[in-house]
Amino acid sequence: MLRRELLNTTAFRLSVGYMFLVTLAVAVTLGSAYLLTDGLITDEVDVIIDTELKSLQDRYARTGIPGVTDEINLRIDSWGRIGAVYMLVDNNFAVIAGNVTHWPFEGMPAENWPEFEIAAIEPGRRAVHPVRAAIRTLPGGDHLLVGTDISQGRRFAAKFQTAMLWGIGLTSLAAALTGFWFSFRLARRVGDVTGTCKRILAGELGRRLPVAGANDEFDALAISVNDVLERLEDQARTLRATFDSAAHDLRAPLHRLRTRMDALLLRSPALEPAVHESIESALREVDHLQRTLAILLQIALAESGAPLASSAAVDVGELASELAELFEPVVRDRGLTLVDHEDSGAIVQGNRQLLAQLVTNLIENCLKYVPAGGQIELCVKRLADSVCLVVSDNGPGLAADDRMRAIQPFVRLGQSSRPDSSGLGLSLVAAIARLHRARLLLENNEPGLRVVVELPLK
C-alpha cells in the first residue's frame, strides 16, 4: 500500500527523473573525458611514429638501404624510445633489419595505423603487447615500419574505463538512494498533513499539523495552516456560542410560557372546558413553534459549516428498515403502501439521529403529498464508494423548477400548504445531507418524486 502510494507521489517521480539526469550527466562527462584522454594518448604516439618515419625516410634519401639499416640498428641498441618497434622489409616482406622477427601482417595492411601484437616478457610471465604502427613504402619497393608498444596506454584506458563505469554506477545508486529517501520523507510529511486534515474534517477541530522543528518550508506551511485552523476553530466556537445563546434566549421564554399554561391546566378546581380547550390549542402552537425553532437551529448549525459532531458508524440499511417498520402502520392507515429494500453492510460515518431525521422527513413528505393508493419506496444501496439512499413515490411529484427550490427553507410548493407544515422538511434534509458531505438529488420518478441521497463511504 505504502509502496504504491510512494510510486504515485510527485516527489518520487521527480527523484526518478533527477536520478536519470544525474546518471546521464556523469556518463557524458566521464565518457568524453575517456574519449579525449584516449585520443590524446593515441595522437602522441602517432606524432612520434610520424616524426621517426620522416627522419628514417630522410636517411634513406641520403644514404639508401644500408644507411637506414645502420640507423635502425643504432636506435634499437641505444637507449631510445621505450617500447619502440622498427622493421625494414623488402618487397616480399622478408626482414632486412629491425627488432621484430617477422612481418606481422598478411601482406600490406589496409589501415593507415595498423595494429598488431608482439610477444613480450614481463617480470615472471609471458605477455602479449599491442603495438600501433605506421608503414611507408620506400622508393626501392622496400617497406619501413615504425611502431610503439601501446600496452601502457591501453592499460591506462582500461583502468579509466572501469573507473568510469564504477563512477556512473555509484553516482546513479547514490542519486537513487537520495531520491528514494527524499521522496519517502516528503511522502511521510505530506502524509502526516493529509492525515491530520482528514481528522480535522472528521470533526477533531482541535488537531494541528505537526511541526517538525526543522524550520524548513514544511514547518512554515504547517505553522501558517495551523494559524488558519486556529482562527477557524475560534469562529466555530463563537458560532456555537451564538447558537447556544440564541437557542437559550428563544427557548427560555417559550419554556416559561409553556410551564405557566401547564400550571393552569393542572389547577384545581379545573378550568371551564372551553378555556381548557383553548389553552390546549395554544400549547400545541407553542410546541409547533418549538419544533420549527429546533429545525431552524439545526439547519443554521449545519449550514454554518461546523463539522459533524458525535459521528459514528451508522448502518444506513438497518436504520432505513427500522424506520420503514416504524412508519408502515401509519402509511397503511393513509391508504398507501411502503416498499423497502436495503443492502446489508451499507455503513457510513455519520450521526444516527440526524440520518434518522433525514429519512423520517422524506417519508413524512411522501405522506403529505402522495394521495391514497400511492406507493412509497425506500431503498438503500451499497455502491463502490458511497451508500445510496433513495426515497421515491408515485405521487404528483414536482416540476423541474420546483425541485430546485424545494430544498430552500420556507418554500411551500403547490396549493396544498397545511397549517402544520412549516416548509422546512426538505431544507432540513438538505442541511443534514450537507453535514454528511452527501449529494442530494431531487429527480423525476415518472411519475412522482425521487429523492436520492448519496452518502460517501469515507
Partner 1 sequence: MHILLIEDDTEAAKFLVKGLRESGYSVDHAADGREGLFRATEGQFDLVVTDRMLPHIDGLAIIQLMRQKGVTTPVLVLSALGSVDDRVKGLKAGGDDYLTKPFAFVELLARIEALSRRRSSVPDATKLKVADLDFDLLARRVTRSGREIELTARELKLLEFLMRRAGQVVTRTMLLEGVWDLHFDPQSNLIDVHISRLRQAIDRGSDRQLIHTVRGSGYVLRAED
Binding mask 389-428 for partner 1 (x = CB under 8 A): -------------------------------x--------
Contact 406, 426 (CB under 8 A): yes
In one-letter notation, the amino acid at residue 78 is: S
Report the nearest approach of partner 1 to the CB of residue 259 (Å).
4
Rounded to a whole number of angstroms, the minimum distance from the CB of residue 315 to partner 1 is: 13
Cα distance between residue 285 and residue 282, in whole Å: 5
In contact, 393 and 377? CB cutoff 8 Å: yes
Instruction: Report if residue 353 touches partner 1, rule: CB under 8 A.
Output: yes
Residue 388 β-bridge partners: 381, 454
The residues pairing with 449 across neighbouring beta strands, listed in sequence order, are: 444
Least separation, in Å, of the C-beta of 407 and partner 1?
A: 18
Shortest distance (Å) from residue 341 CB to partner 1: 19
Kindly give, in sequence order, each residue whose CB lies less than 8 Å from that of residue 323, ignoring residues fewer than 6 positions away. 356, 359, 360, 363, 378
Residue choice 69, 292, 349, 357 for contact with partner 1 (CB under 8 A): 357
Residue 204 interacts with partner 1 (CB under 8 A): yes or no? no
Told to check if 362 binds partner 1 by CB under 8 A, we report no
Give yes or no for residue 364 binding partner 1 (CB under 8 A): yes
The nearest distance, CB 245 to partner 1, in angstroms, is 9
Residue placing its CB nearer to partner 1 in the complex, 148 or 361: 361
Give the integer Cα–Cα distance in Å for 167 and 207: 48
CB of 448 to partner 1, least distance (A): 20
Under the binding rule (CB under 8 A), the answer on residue 291 touching partner 1 is yes
Residue 294 CA to residue 35 CA, distance in Å, equals: 85
Binding residues among 252-281 for partner 1 as defined by CB under 8 A: 252, 254-260, 262-263, 265-266, 280
Among 327, 399, 311, 315, CA closest to 361: 327
292 binds partner 1 (CB under 8 A): no
Q: Are 299 and 422 within 8 A, CB to CB?
A: no
Residues 6+ apart with CB under 8 A from 69: 88, 96, 97
The 235-254 contact track toward partner 1, x by CB under 8 A, reads ---------x--xx-xxx-x
Comparison of 176 and 293: residue with beta carbon closer to partner 1: 293
Can you tell me which of 51, 152, 310, 408 binds partner 1, judged by CB under 8 A?
A: 310
Instruction: Rank residues 32 and 310 by Cβ distance to partner 1 and give the closer one.
Output: 310
How many Å apart are CA 313 and CA 457, to the nearest integer? 10
Would you say 391 and 378 are in contact if contact means Cβ atoms under 8 Å apart?
A: yes
- Binding test (CB under 8 A) with partner 1, winner from 21, 177, 201, 330: 330
Cα–Cα dist 54/291, whole Å = 117
Can residue 201 be called a binding residue for partner 1 (CB under 8 A)? Answer: no
Closer by beta carbon to partner 1, 26 or else 389: 389
Helix, strand or coil, per DSSP, at residue 373: coil
Among positions 170-199, residues that touch partner 1 (CB under 8 A) are none
CB of 299 to partner 1, least distance (A): 11
What CA–CA distance (Å, rounded) separates 274 from 241? 43
| Grid cell locating 147 | 611502431
Task: Please give the Cα distance from 45 to 275 (Å, whole number).
Answer: 129
326 binds partner 1 (CB under 8 A): yes
Number of neighbouring beta carbons within 10 Å of residue 431: 25
What is the rounded distance in angstroms from the CA atom of residue 189 to the CA atom of residue 372?
A: 61
Question: Cβ 274 to partner 1, closest distance in Å?
Answer: 16
* Beta-ladder partners of 146: 86, 134
CA distances from 423 to 45, 204, 323, 368, 371 (A): 102, 33, 22, 11, 19
Q: Which of 329, 345, 371, 447 binds partner 1 (CB under 8 A)?
A: 329
- By beta-carbon proximity to partner 1, the closer residue of 252 and 404 is 252
Tracing cell 410560557 back to the chain, one arrives at 257
User: Which stretches does DSSP call E strand in 204-336?
Assistant: 312-315
Contact stretch for partner 1 (CB under 8 A) within 26-34, 215-223, 350-358, 392-400? 350-358
Least distance from partner 1 to the Cβ atom of residue 364, Å: 6
Distance CA 394, CA 197 (A): 43
Instruction: Give least dist CB 385 to partner 1, A.
Output: 26
165 binds partner 1 (CB under 8 A): no
> Which residue is it, cell 504515485?
8
Q: Tell me which stretch binds partner 1 (CB under 8 A): 101-109, 215-223, 231-239, 324-332.
A: 324-332
Residue placing its CB nearer to partner 1 in the complex, 333 or 446: 333
| Contacting positions for partner 1 (CB under 8 A) | 244, 247-248, 250-252, 254-260, 262-263, 265-266, 280, 283, 286-287, 290-291, 294, 297-298, 301, 309-310, 322, 325-327, 329-330, 333, 351-354, 356-357, 360, 364, 367, 420
